[in-house]
Structure 1
Amino acid sequence: MSEYLVIVESPAKAKTIGKYLGKKYTVKASMGHVRDLPKSQLGVDIQRHFEPKYITIRGKGDVIKSLRDARKKAKKVFLAADPDREGEAIAWHLANLLDVNQEEACRVVFHEITKDAVREAFNAPRRLNYDLINAQQTRRILDRLVGYRLSPLLWRKVKKGLSAGRVQSVAVRLIVDREREIRAFVPQEYWTVDAEFTVAQGRFSARFQGYGDEKTELPNREAVDELLKHIEGADYRVERVKRSERRRNPSPPFTTSSLQQEAARKLGFRASKTMSVAQQLYEGLDVGAEGTVGLITYMRTDSTRIAESAQTEARAFIADRFGTDFVPREARQFSTKGNAQDAHEGIRPTSVVRTPDSLKEFLSRDQLRLYKLIWERFVASQMAQAVLDTTTVDIRANEAWFRATGSVVKFAGFMAVYTEGTDDPATDEKDGKILPPLSEGQPLPEPTVSPEQHFTQPPPRYSESSLVKAMEELGIGRPSTYAPTMETILKRGYVILDQKRFYPTELGELVVDLLVQNFHQLIDVDFTAHLEQQLDLIEEGKTDWVALLESFNREFETELERAEETLEHVQIADEESDVVCDKCGRKMVYKHGRYGKFLACPGFPECRNTKPIVKEVGVDCPRCKKPLVERRGKRKVFYGCSGYPDCDYVLWDKPTGALCPVCHHPMVEKRSKGESLVVCSNAAAHPDAGAAKAHGQKVKGVRKKKLS
C-alpha cells in the first residue's frame, strides 16, 4: 500500500515524475479536467451570485473510480496539476471529488519536470490558491454567458448552428477589419533609381535619396526622367564616408506567444502543433541512460525571467563551448511586459547540457526541431552582444544624392548560435552586405543607372504568427488561449486559412457586423483587453470575481434585450455553382469548411453529397494524360490526377507548369535548407544526380539557388 497518492493530468507526466518519488508514492493521471459546466444548459445560477453547477465530464467515470479507489488506500493526496489557473482549477475539482481536506497543504507545483524540481516541490506543498481558482472560474463563466446566451440569438436571427465566443469574436473582427483595409487600399505609385558602380576593388550599388541635403520622393515617371536628365553626363564623387560600430542584443527566452510566432516562421508549425509538441517536451521523454525526463520548462508563460541556477549553467556552457569572450560580464536580465504574469520562467531547456545533437536519436523530427529552437534561443539569450561594423557612403552627382550602406559582422556574439526571424523575409538578410574601400573625395566611374517602378502594398493578411502577435500586443486572451482560439474560428467557418494566411468568410463578416452593431462592448478590442486585466487582478486577489461578473452581465443583458427587439432576420444565400449534383440533379453550392471551400448539395439533409473544388495546375498527368488538379487534405495541399480513382498519381510539391526536358515529368517547386528550387518530380529518371540535382532552374520572386 502506497502512503501517498499524486495526481497529475497526463500519463506521460505521471511516468516522468513517478520515477523521482520512490515506492511510497502512487502517481495517477486525471486525463485533464474531471468536472465542468453541463453542455445541455447554461449551468450558472445568475440569481445566486453566478454560482456554477459543475458535473462530472461524460466519459470520465472510469478515471474517477480509479482515483477514488487509490484515494482510499493512501493516507495523503498531493495534487500536482500544471502551475497555472487551469491547473489550479483541475486540482480544486479533484479535491472536491476525492474529499481532500482543502485546509491542508495538498497542492504541489513545479515549473520543470526534473528530479531536483520535483523533489523540491514535494518538500514544500501549499494550500490551494483560491485567487487562481476564482480567476479560472470567472473566465469559464464569462465564456459560458456569452456562448450560451448569444448563440441562440444568432440561431434565430441568422442561421442555425452559429455560435459566438468572447475572445474568438474579437479575433475574427481583427481578421475582418484587416481584409476590409486591404479592399479599401489604393496603391500609390513610386519609383527607385539605383546606380551600380564598378571600382577596382569590386562592385556596389547606391540608391537615389534626394537633391541637395533634402530627401526627395520619385512619385512618377516624370520625376524619374527629370532626375535622369539632371545626372546625365555628371561627375560622380564620394562626398562622405561614415563608419560606425553597431551592437545588437540577443532576443529574450521564449514566451508562449514568441515561441508560437517563431515556430511558425522557422518551422512552419501551426500554433496548435507548437503547443502539442512543447507539451511532450515538458512532460518528459525517454532519453536513453538518463531515462524519462522533462526537457523544457512549462510552456504556458508570458514571462522572460530565468532562474539564477539556469543562467549559471548556461554561462559555464557558453564559456566552455565558445570561449569567455562570448559570455557577458553580467548575467542578462530581460524586462517582462507590464501585463505579463511573472509566476513562471521563460521557456528554456531544463539543462543546457542536453544539446540538440545529444538528443537526436531519442526525439522525433518535430520534437527535435522545436527543442533545438528553444535551446538555441535560450543559449543565445545568455551570450554577449554581436558587434557589427556599418558603413554609410554618400555619393554626389551634381545636386543629386545617392547612398550606399553596408554592414559586416565584426564579432558574432549570440549570432553564432541564433538570430530571431521576422514576418518579412526581406529583412532577414540586412546584415552581411560589404562595401569596397572608399574614401571621401574619391571620383567614381559612370554607373549603370536602373529606374524601377513600384506600388505601395496593402497591409498583409494575418498569418497565425502575426495574429498571435497582434492578440498579445492588444491584450486579447492569454498565452494558453491563442492556439485554441484560432482552431475555434476555423472550425466555425468564420475564417479560412489559405497559403498560411487568414481570410474571413462571408459568414464571418456577417456575424462580425451583427456583433459590432448590437454588442459593441462585447466585440470591442479595448474592452476585451480590460477584461483580461480584471481577470489578472482576480488572480492577484485585488478584485472580487462576483462583482466583475455582475458588472459584465448587467451591460450584456441590456444589449441582448435590445438586439432581440431590433435585430431583423438575415438570410445568408449560398453561392450557386455550375456543378450538378450527381445524386439528385440540383446545382451544387459553395460552402466554407475548416480546410477551405468545397461544393455541397443544397438538398441537405435529404442529399448529403459533397465534392472538393478542383483547380487545374496547367500540366497533365504523366501516366494517363488527364489534367493534374490541386486538392486539399487534412494536413496540406497536394496535386493529384483528375482521373482518380482510376489513376492514383500524386505530387506533394507544387507543379510549375513546365515539364522535365529529360523525362517529361512535371517540374515542381521544392524547398531545401531555406532555398526554393525547381526540380524534376521523377527522381528515378535521374539516378546519378537525384531529383534534387537534376535541374537548376530558378524560382522567380523568392530566395533562389542554382544547382549544378
Structure 2
Amino acid sequence: MSKYLVIVESPAKAKTIEKFLGKNYTVLASVGHVRDLPKSKMGIDIENEFEPAYINIRGKGPVLKELRKYAKKADKVFLATDPDREGEAIAWHLAFILGIDLDEPCRVTFNEITKATVKEAIKHPTTIKTDLVDAQQARRVLDRLVGYSISPLLWRKVRKGLSAGRVQSVATKMICDRENLINAFEKEEYWSLDFNFQNQDKLSFKASYIGQKGEKAVFKSESDVQKVMDDLDKSAYTVKSIQTKEKSRKPQACFTTSRLQQEASNKLGFSTKKTMIVAQQLYEGIKLPRVGSVGLITYMRTDSTRIADTAVAAVQDFVKEEFGENYLGPEVKVKNNKNAQDAHEAIRATDVMRTPESIEGYLTKDQNKLYKLIWERFVASLMAPAKFEALTVDIENGDHLIRSTGSTQVFDGYLKVYSFGTSTDKILPKLSEGEALSLEKILPEQHFTQPPARYTEATLVREMEEKGIGRPSTYAPTISTVISRGYVGREKKHLYPTELGNIINEIMENYFERIIEVNFTADMEMQFDQVEDGEMPWKSVIKTFYGPFESLIEKAEEDIEKVDLTEPTDIPCELCGNMMNIKHGRFGKFLACSNYPDCKNTKPILKKIGVTCPECGVGDIVERKTKKFKTFYGCSEFPNCNFMSWHKPVDKKCPKCSKTMIEYKTKKKHEYKCTDKECGYSEEISEN
C-alpha cells in the first residue's frame, strides 16, 4: 500500500498524475462530485438558516468504499481536484467523507498537468479555502431554491417535465427578446453606388460613392441615385488625392473560456459543449512518446488573459529562435474583463516547444484542431503586430467625392503563426494625383436594412460574458440545458425560441421578472464573488434573496391560470376513430389521440417541403429533427421508405439524369447537386 493518496476528479487525470509521482503515491478518481443535494426534494432547511442537507450521490458507493480503504492506510491524503469553486467544493465534501480535518494542509492545486508543476504542488499543500466553498454553496443553494420552487409550479400550470433555472431562464429570455426584435423589424430600402474605373494603363479597380459638397450621401430610393448619376455625366473623373498610411493590427490576448468557445465556434464549427469536452481531454492528459501521458493545455475554465512569466519567457525564446527578434511583441499588458477573477492563467499550451505539427499523430482530429487553435493564439499573443500599407484614393467629379481603398501587408508579424487570422490584400493599380480616369461601369444597387441576427452559441456566450451572466464554467451547460429542454431550437448555427420556450418566458416575465432581469443576475454573480473574497457570509446572500422570492412564488401560485397546450384537429385516429389533438413534447409538437388513456396512439407532425420522395416516388419529403435538434429530410412513408438527406431536396430535376436535386450550402459554396452521386452534376445558385 502506498504511503500517500492523491484524489482527483477524473480517471484520465488520475492516470496522468500517477506516472509523475512514482510508486509511493496512489492516485484515485472521485469521478466528479461525491455529495450533493437530493434529487427527490428541495434538500434545504429554509427554517434553519438555509442549511443544505447533502447526501452521498446514488451510485457512488463503490467509489467511496475504495477511497475510504486507501485513505485509512495512507500516511497522508492530498485532495487535488480542479482549481476552481466546483473543485474546492468537491475537495470539501471529500474531506467530510474521509474525516480529514479542515485545518490540515491537504489541498493541492495546479493550473497545468505537467510533471514539474504537479510535483511542486504536492510539496506545498494548503488548507481547503472555505470562502471558495461557500461561494459554490451560495450558487448551488440559490439555484436549487429557484429551480425547485418554480419548476413544480410550471408542472401544475403548464405540463410535467418543465424546468426553470436562474441562469437558463435569462439565456432563454435573451433569445426570445432577440426573436421579438427580428419579428418587429421593418426593413427600409437604401441604395449604394459603386464604380469600375480604368487608369491610364488600362488597369481596372473599384470605387464607391461618398457624397457631395462634404456631406455623406444617403440614398433612400432609386430616384435619389439617378439624380446623382445624371449629375455625374456632366463632368470627368479625376484623381483628387492619394494618401498612404501605415496601419498595424495587434494580436489578440490569450484565450479565456468564453473567447475560446467563440473562436472554436466561428473557426472550427464546434458547439460550446464540444469545445469544453475536447479542452478537458487536452488538459487532463494525452499519451505522447517518451514522456507518457501529459497535459497539453492549462486549466480551461478561466476568465483571465494573464500568462505566467516563465511561459512568456519560453515563447519569447521560441519566437526569436524560429522567426527572429523583429517578430517579438512589446511588453504584455493584461487587460482583463471587469468581472474577471484572475485566479488562473489564460488557456495556453503547457509547452510552447510542443508544436501542433510535432504531436499531430497522437491526437484525434478534434483534439488536433483545438490544440492548434490554442497553441497558435498563445504564441501569436506575444508577437509583433502585423503591418499594412493602407492606400486611400479620393476621386472627384465636380463637387462629388468617390473613394477607393486598398491595403498591402508589409510585415506579417503575428499572422506568421496565427493561421486563423485574416489578411486579404486589396491592391490598387498605380495612380497619380490629377490623373484622368475612364469609367468602365457604374453600378447602382438596391439594398434593404437587415434585422438583428439571431444568436449563435458564440454570440450568446459573448453577450452573457459582457453582461456578467454566469461564469466560465456555466456558459456551455446553460446553452445545452435550454436546447435539451426544448425551449430553444438550433437552425444551422442559429438559436431561436420554440413555442414552448416563448410560453415559459412569458410566464417568467409576468411573474418572475426580477429573477430573469439581466442586471439582477449579474449582481448575484458579483455577490458570489464577494463571498469568495470573504467579504460576505453566503447565507446572508440567500436570506436577502429569499424573502422577496417567496412572495413572488405565492402570488404566481394564485394568479397563473392553467395553460392548455392541447390544440384540437380534424385528423381522425387510425386506431379508434376519435380526433387527434396537437400536444407539446420535449422535442416539439406531436399528434396524440383525444381518447387518451384508452387509446395511446401518437404520431409526429410532418412538415412537408413540397417535394416528392426521389427514392419511392410515393411519399412526401418532410423535415425532421434528430434528438440533438439537428434538421434532416426524410420520406413520409418511413419505415417503408428509408430516404434521408442532411441537405434540403428541391423541386428541380437534374438536367443530366432527371433525378431530384438537393440544395447544398457551405461557407464557400451554394449550389444544387444531384442526389445520384454517380451522376455528380451540380450547378451554382445565384445569390439573387
TM over 0.5: yes
Inter-partner Cα distance in structure 1 for 2:16 and 2:624: 42
Amino acid paired to 2:418:
Y
- CA separation in 1, counterparts of 2:419 and 2:357? 19
**Shift, 1:100, TM fit:** 1.3
- Is the contact made by 2:2 and 2:25 (CA closer than 8 Å) also made in structure 1? yes
Instruction: Write out per-residue CA displacement over residues 602-635 of structure 1, whole angstroms, 9 at most, x where no aligned residue.
Output: 5555515232634337464257675544433245
Is the Cα–Cα contact under 8 Å of residues 608 and 620 in structure 2 kept in the other structure? Answer: no
Equivalent position of 1:241 in the other structure: 242
Q: CA offset at residue 379 of structure 1?
A: 1.7
CA-CA distance at 1:662 after TM superposition: 4.2
Moved more, 490-499 or 179-188: 490-499
Does 2:497 correspond to 1:504?
yes
- CA distance in 2 between partners of 1:608 and 1:65 (Å): 47
Question: Paired residue for 2:441, among 448, 451, 454?
Answer: 448
Could you tell me which amino acid in structure 2 is paired with residue 41 of structure 1?
Answer: K
- Alignment match, 2:564: 572
Distance 1:663 1:370, change over 3 A: farther
The AA in structure 2 aligned to 1:375 is W
3-state SS of 1:274 partner: helix
- Corresponding residue of 2:79: 79
Cα distance in structure 2, aligned partners of 1:233 and 1:612: 63
**RMSD of aligned Cα (Å):** 2.4
Contact 1:491 1:593 in 2 (8 A): no
Shift in Å, 1:492: 2.2
Distance 1:89 1:440 in 2: 70
Structure 2 match to 1:33: 33
Q: Distance in 1 between matches of 2:49 and 2:632?
A: 54
Residues 606 and 636, structure 2, Cα contact 8 Å, conserved in 1: no
Q: Cα 1:447–1:211, aligned 2, differ >3 Å: closer, same or farther?
A: farther
Q: Give the match for residue 167 of structure 2.
A: 167
Q: Quick one: distance in 2 between partners of 1:158 and 1:673?
A: 41
Look up the SS of the partner of 2:65 in the other structure: helix
Counterpart of 1:497, as a letter, is R
Query: 2:573, 2:601 within 8 Å by CA — same for their partners in 1?
Result: no
Distance 2:47 2:582 in 1: 45
**Distance (whole Å) between structure 2 residues aligned to residue 39 and residue 570 of structure 1:** 26
Residues 505 and 122 from structure 1, CA distance in 2 versus in 1: closer, same or farther, beyond 3 angstroms?
same
Alignment check: 8 A CA contact 1:668 1:680 kept: yes
Classify the secondary structure of the residue corresponding to 1:289.
coil
Q: Is the 8 A contact 2:196 2:440 kept in 1?
A: yes
Is 2:544 the counterpart of 1:551? yes
Q: Aligned to 2:638, which of 640, 644, 658?
A: 644
Quote how far apart the aligned CAs of 1:514 are. Answer: 2.3
Q: CA deviation at 1:505?
A: 2.2
The farther-off stretch of 334-343 and 577-586 is: 577-586
Superposed, 1:558-597 pairs within 5 Å as: 558-565=551-558, 567-575=559-567, 580-590=572-582
Matched residue, 1:181:
181
After superposing the two structures, state which structure 1 stretch, 107-116 or 578-587, moved more: 578-587
Counterpart in the other structure of 2:135 = 135
Instruction: Letter of the 1:638 partner, please give it.
Output: F
> What is the CA–CA distance in structure 2 between the aligned matches of 1:369 and 1:111, rounded to whole Å?
22
Which of 488-497 and 128-137 deviates more?
Answer: 488-497
The residue type equivalent to 1:294 in the other structure is: G
Task: Specify the SS of the correspondent of 2:290.
Answer: helix
Q: More displaced, 514-523 or 6-15?
A: 514-523
Name the SS of the counterpart of 1:47 in structure 2.
Answer: coil
How far does residue 201 in structure 1 lie from its aligned partner after superposition? Answer: 5.5
Q: 1:464 to 1:617 in 2, by over 3 A?
A: farther
How far off is 1:389 after superposition?
A: 0.9
Q: Equivalents in 2 of 1:6, 1:324: separation in Å?
A: 44
| Corresponding residue number in structure 1 for 2:229 | 228
The TM-score normalised by the length of structure 2 is: 0.94
* Inter-partner Cα distance in structure 1 for 2:618 and 2:157: 50
- CA deviation after TM superposition for structure 1 residue 49, in Å: 1.6
Q: CA deviation at 1:195?
A: 1.2
Task: Say if 1:617 and 1:655, in contact at 8 Å, map to a contact too.
Answer: no
Amino acid at match of 2:560: E
Which structure 2 segments of 5+ residues have no match? none
Provide the secondary structure at the position in 1 that maps to 2:362. Answer: coil
Q: After superposing the two structures, state which structure 1 stretch, 534-543 or 281-290, moved more.
A: 281-290
- Please say if 1:24 is aligned against 2:24: yes
CA distance in 2, matches of 1:90, 1:259: 26
SS of residue in 2 equivalent to 1:445: strand
Contact 1:624 1:647 in 2 (8 A): no
The whole-number CA distance in structure 2 between the counterparts of 1:287 and 1:592 is: 50
| Deviation, structure 1 residue 580 | 4.9
Counterpart residue number, 1:250: 251
> C-alpha separation between the residues in 2 aligned to 1:284 and 1:683?
42
Contact 2:254 2:347 in 1 (8 A): yes
8 Å contact kept, 1:189–1:454: yes
Instruction: Note closer, same or farther for the CA distance 1:405–1:488 as it changes in structure 2 (3 Å cut).
Output: same
Structure 2 residue identity aligned to 1:540: D
Report deviation, 1:495.
1.7
Q: Alpha carbons of 1:349 and 1:580: their partners in 2 closer, same or farther (altered >3 Å)?
A: farther
Secondary structure of 2:230's aligned partner? helix
CA distance in 2, matches of 1:455, 1:641: 37
Unaligned stretches of 5+ residues in structure 1 = 422-427, 686-690, 703-708
Secondary structure of the residue aligned to 1:224 is helix
- Which secondary structure state, in structure 2, belongs to the residue aligned with residue 353 of structure 1? coil
The worse-fitting range, judged by mean Cα deviation, of 513-522 and 655-664 is 655-664
Return closer, same or farther for 1:674/1:296 CA change in 2, 3 Å cut-off.
farther
Distance 1:303 1:591 in 2: 46
Distance 1:128 1:394, change over 3 A: same
Asked if 2 retains the 8 angstrom alpha-carbon contact of 1:653 and 1:670, the reply is: yes
Aligned equivalents of 2:595, 2:260: Cα separation in 1:
45
**Offset of residue 651 of structure 1:** 3.4
Please identify, of 533-542 and 390-399, the stretch whose mean Cα deviation from structure 2 is larger. 390-399
Moved over 6 A (4+): none
Partner of 2:684: 698
Determine the structure 2 residue equivalent to 1:424: none
Q: Report the CA distance shift for 1:297/1:594 in structure 2 as closer, same or farther (over 3 A).
A: farther
State the secondary structure of the residue aligned to 1:480: coil
TM-score, normalising length from structure 1? 0.91
In the TM superposition, what are the counterparts of 1:309-458 in structure 2 within 5 Å?
Answer: 309-328=310-329, 330-418=330-418, 431-458=424-451
The Cα shift of 1:531 comes to 0.6
Q: Does 1:519 align with 2:519?
A: no
SS of match in other structure, 2:465 = helix
Structure 2 partner of 1:295:
296
Hey, what's the Cα distance between the residues in 2 that align with 1:397 and 1:273? 55
Report the equivalent of 1:529: 522
CA distance 1:344–1:439, change in 2 (3 Å): same
CA deviations 1:227-253 (Å, max 9, x no partner) are: 122112421111121111111111111
Label 1:64 to 1:581 Cα distance change in 2 as closer, same or farther (>3 A): farther
Q: Distance in 2 between matches of 1:120 and 1:642?
A: 63
- For this pair of structures, how many residues does the alignment match? 685
Measured in 2, the distance between the counterparts of 1:634 and 1:203 equals: 53
Q: Structure 1 274/576 Cα, relative in aligned 2: closer, same or farther at 3 Å?
A: farther
- 1:631 & 1:380 partners in 2: Cα distance? 43
1:53-202 alignment runs, 5 A limit: 53-199=53-199, 200=201, 202=203
